[in-house]
């Protein structure tokens, strides 16, 4: 059994020829995201110490201003992406507007990045896993000009790459460039993400469903009927409250993650551009499905604004199909054919 270490860098370079129009820029961008992930990982792992050093927003024992980790992650990712020279702009959960990046040394950059720098950041203070989510598009605007909003408002089907970093019991980076899904676990002793899960495929069904059961009475009847079905089937309920963590478990063990519309979030809570699309791309590449509660394929939804919210059901294909059947049977509104 060949158990030679394959680092993320080596893997990306080796697989570069699989990416159409690849001329190294996307490779460089993916490697830069890997570097940013290591930097963020270092600070996330110290998060527990911040309580000793001072809570976010306060001054720590050395008088330094302690920064909220999600803002720190956002800053580090932006820094790394700016230094790459391969990224023309960034749309981040932390920034109301997109961030145009001026070309370095007059070199045109082909790509833009959408990202949630630290998803689930409310869980940091209680030491629950959090994650970074990113997606990469080829820009549509003139490469010699500053990027525009239309570069970011592209359907998920136009993603050239997507991935996430889960800062959990170990730190794992999972990504796809449209040729399957691979996972890399950070080996802190050598500071490298090492290939640990090759060609990940989601089970066709699983024994878990993942939803905030506390909103049950606020869900539409068809979602309540499907959740009742999950309970009747004795599926286990697992809900961490960090989308990356909940979806990661489902990617490996099978199951379904749901965030339906509620009175508080009539369009759904989760963001299309930098949460649902990247995770839907990964899930479909692993053989899963991702639709909204109106049964539209997530990756086909035409974005209209950067921070657009959508409903989502994502996971094992057989379980997403079952959820679809419940919506078709019980939904009060006509469902698009």
DSSP 8-class letter at 265: -
d(CA 26, CA 12): 9
CA 310 to CA 292: how far, in whole Å? 7
Catalytic residue among 32, 86, 94, 246: 94
Helix then strand count (H, E) for the chain reads 7, 15
Q: Are 147 and 163 in contact (CB under 8 A)?
A: no
| Smallest separation (angstroms) from ligand P6P to the CB of 243 | 3
Residue from 122, 198, 231, 267 touching ligand P6P (CB under 6 A): that is 122
The contact pattern for ligand P6P, residues 193-212, with x = CB under 6 A and - = no contact, is -------------------x
Nearest approach, Cβ of 122 to ligand P6P (angstroms)?
A: 5
Whole-number minimum distance, CB 264 to ligand P6P, in Å? 8
Bridging pattern class, strands 208-210 and 256-259: parallel
- Structure tokens, 257: 């993650």
Q: How far is the CB of 60 from ligand P6P (least distance, A)?
A: 25
| Cβ nearer to ligand P6P, comparing 38 with 269 | 269
Q: Round to whole Å and give the CA distance between 54 and 186.
A: 27
The tokens describing 291, both together, are 């639709």
Identify whether 187 is a catalytic site residue.
Answer: no
Among 28, 34, 120, 303, indicate the residue that binds ligand P6P (CB under 6 A): 120
Q: What residues are paired with 256 via a beta bridge?
A: 209, 315
Nearest residue to 200 (alpha-carbon basis) of 180, 220, 184: 180
Among positions 248, 269, 289, 324, the unique one binding ligand P6P when judged by CB under 6 A: 269
Candidate residues 186, 243, 310, 323; the one interacting with ligand P6P per rule CB under 6 A: 243
Give the number of residues in contact with ligand P6P, rule: CB under 6 A. Answer: 8
Q: Which is nearer to ligand P6P, 16 or 253 (CB)?
A: 253
Q: Which of 51, 108, 113 has its CA nearest to residue 79?
A: 113
Active-site residue, selected from the candidate residues 8, 29, 69, 70? 70
Nearer to ligand P6P, 120 or 206 (CB): 120
Among 103, 178, 180, 241, the residue binding ligand P6P under the rule CB under 6 A is: 241
Nearest-angstrom CA–CA distance, 243 and 194: 23
Query: Which is the catalytic residue, given 32, 119, 151, 246?
Result: 119
Q: In sequence order, which residues have a C-beta less than 8 Å from that of residue 115 and are 6 or more positions away?
A: 77, 90, 91, 92, 93, 132, 133, 134, 135, 274
* By the rule CB under 6 A, 238 interacts with ligand P6P: no
Encoded one letter per residue, x for contact with ligand P6P by CB under 6 A and - for no contact, window 278-317 reads ----------------------------------------
Active-site residue among 25, 86, 116, 192? 116
Q: Which tokens is 333 given?
A: 């509104």
**Annotation says 116 is catalytic:** yes
Distance CA 30, CA 330 (A): 43
Q: Which residues are catalytic?
A: 64, 70, 93-94, 116, 118-119, 275
Residues that bind ligand P6P (CB under 6 A): 119-120, 122, 212, 241-243, 269
């Amino acid at each position: 059994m060949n158990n030679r270490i394959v680092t993320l860098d080596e893997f990306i370079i080796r697989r570069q020829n699989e990416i159409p129009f690849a001329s190294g820029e996307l490779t460089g961008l993916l490697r830069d995201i890997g570097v940013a992930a290591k930097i963020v990982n270092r600070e996330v792992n110290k998060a527990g110490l911040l309580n000793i050093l001072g809570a976010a927003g306060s001054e720590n024992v050395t008088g330094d201003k302690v920064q909220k980790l999600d803002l720190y992650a956002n800053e580090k990712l932006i820094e790394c992406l700016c230094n790459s020279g391969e990224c023309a702009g960034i749309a981040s959960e932390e920034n109301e507007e997109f961030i145009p990046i001026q070309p370095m040394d007059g070199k045109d950059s082909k790509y833009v990045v959408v990202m949630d720098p630290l998803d689930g950041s409310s869980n940091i203070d209680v030491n629950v896993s959090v994650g970074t989510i990113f997606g990469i598009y080829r820009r549509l605007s003139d490469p010699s000009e500053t990027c525009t909003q239309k570069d970011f408002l592209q359907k998920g089907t136009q993603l050239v790459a997507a991935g996430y970093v889960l800062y959990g019991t170990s730190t794992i980076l999972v990504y796809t460039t449209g040729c399957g899904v691979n996972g890399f676990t950070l080996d802190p002793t050598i500071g490298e993400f090492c290939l640990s899960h090759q060609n990940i495929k989601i089970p066709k069904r699983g024994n878990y469903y993942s939803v905030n059961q506390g909103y049950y009475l606020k869900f539409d009847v068809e979602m309540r009927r499907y959740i009742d079905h999950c309970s009747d089937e004795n599926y286990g309920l697992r809900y961490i409250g960090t989308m990356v963590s909940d979806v990661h478990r489902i990617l490996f063990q099978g199951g379904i993650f749901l965030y339906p519309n509620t009175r508080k979030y009539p369009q759904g809570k989760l963001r299309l551009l930098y949460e649902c699309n990247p995770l839907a791309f990964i899930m479909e590449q692993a053989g899963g499905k991702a639709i909204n509660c109106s049964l539209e394929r997530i990756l086909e939804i035409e974005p209209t604004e950067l921070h657009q919210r959508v409903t989502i059901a994502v996971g094992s294909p057989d379980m997403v199909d079952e959820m679809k059947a419940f919506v078709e049977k019980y939904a009060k509104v006509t469902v698009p054919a």
